[in-house]
Amino acid sequence: MTTIASLGARLLRVPLTRPWAADVTSVGVIATHVVRSDGSEGWGFSWTPQIGAEAVLALIEHDIAPAALGRDADAATTWRPLWQHLHEAGGGGITTIALAGLDLALWDAAARARDLPVSALIGRRRESVRAYGSGVNLHYPLDELIAQVRRWVDAGFDAVKIKVGKPDMREDADRVAAVRDVLGPDRALMIDANQRWDLDRATSSMEVLAAFDPAWIEEPLRADDLTGHAELARRIATPIALGENLHTVYRFAEFLRAGAVQIVQPNVVRVGGVTPFLRIAQVAVDHGATLHPHLLPELSGQLALTLATAPGAAEPMAEDVEDAGFGALGALADPSPVALSDGSLTETPHVGLGIRFA
């Protein structure tokens, strides 16, 4: 049996080209490096935009690394016992974010040992996926928001996502109307409230915003409000998307069973890595739901190439947040493992995950 011989981690702060908010000027990356008993190496990472990076690093160094040494280097075998080991610190959140650092490095090592990209190791189902332009843009003045949308259109994107949730609902309506005018009727428009509404505000807002034909409303309520999302789904016709702030396969299954979500958006790092991400993807298929991975296109775009889709469900899309990809931010030691062109994402030649930080 090939085992885990060592696990190291280091914390990086990657400056953002444009702040996501006044206090979000960088993102935290905990770069990981695993060595297996057969000498194979793998590189992975954990990620959190602003809060908890130091805690993730401490969890990896003090709790995960000692518990991982000598265990099976097969990520799918090792993930659950380590998750159970960390459980008294929480079943998800910091614990699963930290576990992703090991899981990704183990997948990287396994693929590198076979001289393959991870997508080939999993099983690639398509050679490209549709991508959509996305931005952290609620604080943008209207003219800057419109300029951003025009850049996406000029770059060939046929789907874009913007933030909503202004204190005055009329301002949301004006901004969405202006964006729809730029996009025209044939491009998809998605809106994301980032948990800013309560049930009644979400209901009244969507009564107005539905006129602009949004493909989905993302995180309209607090992410863990299962009952509220189920009730909102009964009240509105626009599909509900969420998942970036759900952390376990159990929570995804609960929301799907309750009819509280139609489009799931797991973040591969926040759920704990490739191993649990693939389990969540299977749960989505079992419930006939569409899955679009959240953020991190260099990683989630590769996984989107491998995903099965339920009958009638849309194929996965990759989310490309303007000026926020690791490659665009100059954070990678090697060329990006993916390329975006004319609204589509494809892989570039690489082995493993192809993600090592400078």
Which are the catalytic amino acids?
163, 294
Task: Give the up-direction half-sphere exposure of residue 318: CA atoms within 13 A in the CB hemisphere.
Answer: 29
Among candidates 112, 153, 72, 110, which has minimal Cα distance to 342? Answer: 153
Nearest to 296 by CA among 47, 129, 31: 47
Let me know: does 324 contact 25? Beta carbons within 8 Å: no
Separation in Å, CA 323 to CA 29, 129, 165, 344 = 16, 20, 22, 17
From CA 79, how far away is CA 58, in angstroms rounded? 18
C-alpha–C-alpha distance, residues 185 and 258, integer Å: 32
**Using CA atoms, how far apart are residues 40 and 34, in angstroms rounded to an integer?**
8
Amino acid identity, position 289 = A
Task: Look up residue 49 and give its two tokens.
Answer: 């935009």
Q: Which amino acid is at 339?
A: A
Phi then psi for residue 255, to 5 deg, are -65, -40
CB 43 within 8 A of CB 20: no
d(CA 60, CA 106) in angstroms, rounded, equals 14
* Chain-centroid distance, C-alpha 181: 28
**Residue 142, SS3 per DSSP:** helix
Can you say whether residue 217 is alpha, beta or left, with left for phi > 0 and alpha for psi between -120 and 50 degrees?
beta
